[in-house]
Amino acid sequence: MKSQYQKTMIIGILFIILTIAAFFFINTLGNKKATPPIMQSPAISPTSGIGYTLTNIAGHATQTDCWMAIEGKVYNVTSFISDHPGGERILEGCGKDATALFQSVQKHIPEAIELLPTYYIGDLK
C-alpha cells in the first residue's frame, strides 16, 4: 500500500499536469481569430479555380449586390456599403474595375487596405 505522502505527490503532479494542459487549451482557443463570412454568389466560388471577368462583376452593380475589382482582385462589398465612411460614394465602383477610384481617395490608405481581405472573393481574369 502506498503511503499518504506518495498519494499526495501523485495527486499534486496530476493537478499540475492538468493545469498546464488547461492553460494551453484555453490559450489556443483565445488565439483563433474569427474569420468573417465572405458574401459571394453560390454559383461562382473562388476556391474552384474560376476567376472573375469584368462581365461577371458587371452583374453585381447595385446597392444590394455590389462587387468590384481593385488591383486584379474581386471583392463583394455589399455588406460594407452601410458602413462606408464616404457614404454612397462606394456605389460608384459597383460592377466595375474600381482601382482608379479606390486609389484616388487618400483616406483609403491604410485603413481600407486592411479591410479589403475581408471582402475578397477571387481574382480578376
Over residues 21-73, the pLDDT tens digits come to 776 667 666 554 443 333 333 344 444 456 899 999 999 999 999 999 999 99
In this structure, the answer to whether residues 93 and 60 fall within a common structural domain is: yes
| Cut 0.85: pTM above it | no
pLDDT of res. 50: 64
State pLDDT tens for residues 81-106. 999 998 999 999 999 999 999 999 87
pLDDT of res. 25: 66
Q: Which domain holds residue 1?
A: 1-32
When pLDDT is averaged across residues 15-26 and rounded to a whole number, the result is: 73
pLDDT of res. 6: 81
- Per DSSP, the three-state class of 36 is coil
Query: What length does the chain have?
Result: 125
Q: How many domains in the chain?
A: 2
In this structure, the answer to whether residues 17 and 51 fall within a common structural domain is: no
- Residue indicated by cell numbers 456599403: 81
When pLDDT is averaged across residues 102-125 and rounded to a whole number, the result is: 88
Identify the helix (H) or strand (E) that includes residue 7: helix 4-31
Cell of 109: 490608405
Q: Quick check: is 39 in a domain?
A: no
In this structure, the answer to whether residues 77 and 102 fall within a common structural domain is: yes
Percent of the chain scoring above 90 in pLDDT: 48
In this structure, the answer to whether residues 26 and 58 fall within a common structural domain is: no
Amino acid at 80: F
pLDDT of res. 27: 66
Taking only Cα atoms into account, the Rg of the chain, rounded to an integer number of angstroms, comes to: 25
Say how far apart CA 66 and CA 98 lie, in whole Å. 12
